[in-house]
Structure 1
Amino acid sequence: MEDDKPRRVTLKEFEKKTPGRYMNPCEIESRASLKCLEINEYKKPLCKEYFDAYIQCKKLWMEERKAARFK
């Protein structure tokens, strides 16, 4: 049984995952942005900071994956 608490997925874990298994390396930011939307009655401008954090996480994750491919 998998823990419901969000955590960081490492690049090593991501690369070794089985095909078809979904892993979100930015799950913490994703859940925070969804929780913000829920609390604020889906008024997106009130959650901009959370969306920005999610976008930044995704950018960093993609940069890390690209760098790992060229090592």
Structure 2
Amino acid sequence: MSSEPQDPSQAESAVWDKQTRRNKSTSEFYDPCQAAAQQSYKCLFRNGGDKSMCGEYFQAYRDCKQAWTERRRGVPSKPKESTSES
């Protein structure tokens, strides 16, 4: 008994899928918050690792991640609060 599939086309497609995933570059589809993460790292580098100087960047990344996660789960986005009074 062999653990290989009986149909050779299935074996080729399985190998192709693995190879495709391996060669695929990381993109926005995997982490749309990559820009916010990069800004956080740059801030840390500029400030010698002082996290207290980069709080706004960290919060922007957390907000982006939370919004992305909610979108993936199908949670409706929160309506923007109106600041004008009638």
Q: Could you say which TM-score interval applies, normalised by the shorter chain?
A: 0.5 to 0.7
Q: What TM-score does the superposition give when structure 1 sets the normalisation length? A: 0.64
Number of aligned residues: 50
Aligned-residue sequence identity (percent) comes to 40
Q: Determine the structure 2 residue equivalent to 1:25.
A: 32
Q: Determine the structure 1 residue equivalent to 2:59.
A: 52
Task: Name segments (4+ residues, structure 1) moved above 4 Å.
Answer: none
Give RMSD over aligned pairs: 2.0
Q: Structure 1: any 5+ residue segments left out of the alignment? A: 15-22
Q: Does 1:43 align with 2:33?
A: no
Q: Which has the larger radius of gyration?
A: 2
Q: Which has the higher contact order (CA 8 A, sep 6+)?
A: 1
Deviations along 1:19-42, whole A, 9 cap, x unmatched?
Answer: xxxx22200000000000000000
